[in-house]
Amino acid sequence: MRAALREAAGRGTNTTMARALLIALALLLAACGRHDARAPFLDSQTPPSLATRFYPMIKQRQGSMVIIGSIGAFKSVVGNPAYAASKAGLFGLTRTLGDAWGREGVRVNGIAPGMIATKMTKATTDHPDRLQAALDTISLGRLGLPVDVADMALFLVSPLASYITGQTLIVDGGRSL
């Protein structure tokens, strides 16, 4: 499946554009993955700024943008309301840009990952009791991997998703069900 998606993504998308998309995705991930006193500012201001900065290049190539959020946009995040609010903002940004820029041939979609095994989730995954409690909330019974999110991004920028814009797809193994 991954090979087919990579092949499909290669049709109509040149290497420069693919690299630009990966750079934009990496910048958005880096900006939205910060967890310090400035996180709400970065989460609410950086993605629109980066999207606007990359828009002319993506429009020229009739490309696609993927915004990474979190299932925190759709559920409460007790103890961290700023995180939930910032992720809800990314959900709204995805819908708005998908509508506005779709009229000019630029698709904008989002991904809302659940619990992915990364440095950010180590506070849970490094403690067996916390890890088991988290796994009990996930229908598939496992943590997601970064490749699960990357594969969804690859699908969204491929021609296979050419009629999808403004949508945020949940990649959480069933945790939000």
Q: Do 158 and 9 meet the contact criterion of CB atoms below 8 Å apart?
A: yes
Q: Catalytic annotation on 55?
A: no
Among 31, 46, 57, 83, the active-site one is: 83
Q: How far is CA 25 from CA 51, 97, 105, in A?
A: 10, 16, 19
Please state, in angstroms and rounded to a whole number, the distance separating the CA atoms of residues 78 and 96.
Answer: 27
Q: Beta-carbon neighbour count of residue 43 at 10 Å?
A: 23
Which residues contact residue 102 at a Cβ distance below 8 angstroms, ignoring those fewer than 6 apart? 108, 165, 166
Residues involved in catalysis: 83
